[in-house]
Amino acid sequence: MTGRLISRMALAIAVLITGAIVTCSTTGAEEILKYSCSAQIYEAFGQERLDAFNKETGVKVELYISTSGASVYRLMNGFSDIASTARPLYYRHKESGYVEIPFARDPIAVITHESCTVKDITDEQLQQIFSGEIKNWKDVGGPDQPVIVIVPGKDTGSYKNFDRLVMDRKEIVYDLMTNKSTMAIETVKQFPWSISFISYGAAVTKAVTKTLKVNGVDPKDKGYPYYQTFSFVTKGAPAGSAKKFIDFALSDKGQQIMTDKGMVPIHN
């Protein structure tokens, strides 16, 4: 067998092998959604929503968890197909063609360490605690113990929403600040007589032992004063796997997951 014939046979085999690999890869390829998600939104839903979406559609989700701001900026820089955020989209981003699709309202829960005996607080007292005017639990009907104020990072949706809804232009004064919003839950668990705030859905998922009523109203009850809106963000009108994800979230099955987690679905 000549060297030229051997070379031709080797080339033919290589082409066949390559073709087989490409065909298998194409046949076995699965649709992938790159999703950047606010930490508190992820904790509010847990993995349940993503697993249910994958089972329903066959679309695999590549998840990146960060702050609301970072999630949106990852979308803007091409690292994601869709983002979810717990804070409103800036007007300048809407002007640039980014689309905000609200899908749920979730109470901002005030959480405390299990040692705290206080069960109810007024909105004025809450503002005074987080502005540093009230420093001891005895001033809100509790024992003579110092209040340890823990807050999520300033770039998180929970911090910005709490500042906007609760503080009425007063500066937030704190003892400890966490990087991610959901880290506030674990930090509160470690410090007796501490207080913080987080998505009610995340608090329930993480099994926080104490949430305070505000003005006599529990976070899960009608009339609770502080809600934040969870939204999807896409570049332009939703399409492809991102649209499938949004459609699933707004479906009866997706909305039932929200309701079970203590959130209020937004019907579009």
Q: Sign of torsion, CA 153 114 125 161?
A: positive
pLDDT at 26: 31
pLDDT at 79: 96
Residues 6 or more apart whose CB falls under 8 angstroms from that of 38 comprise 65, 66, 67, 68, 71, 84, 85, 86, 156, 157, 181, 230
Structure tokens at 114: 């299990």
Structure tokens at 240: 């492809």
pLDDT tens for residues 129-165? Answer: 999 999 999 999 999 999 999 999 898 888 999 999 9
pLDDT at 200: 86
Low-confidence ranges of the chain (pLDDT < 50): 1-28
Q: What are the structural domains of the chain? A: 32-105+228-265 (3.40.190.10), 107-214 (3.40.190.10)
pLDDT tens for residues 18-37? Answer: 333 332 233 345 899 999 99
Helix (H) / strand (E) element for 194: namely strand 194-199
Q: Sign of torsion, CA 251 257 260 266?
A: negative
Strand 194-199 to strand 148-151: parallel, antiparallel, or no bridges (unpaired)?
parallel
The length of the chain, given as a count of residues: 268
Nearest 10 degrees: Cα torsion 191, 146, 168, 165: 30
- Round to whole Å and give the CA distance between 264 and 229: 9
For the full predicted model, state whether its pTM sits above 0.95. no
pLDDT at 133: 97
pLDDT at 224: 94
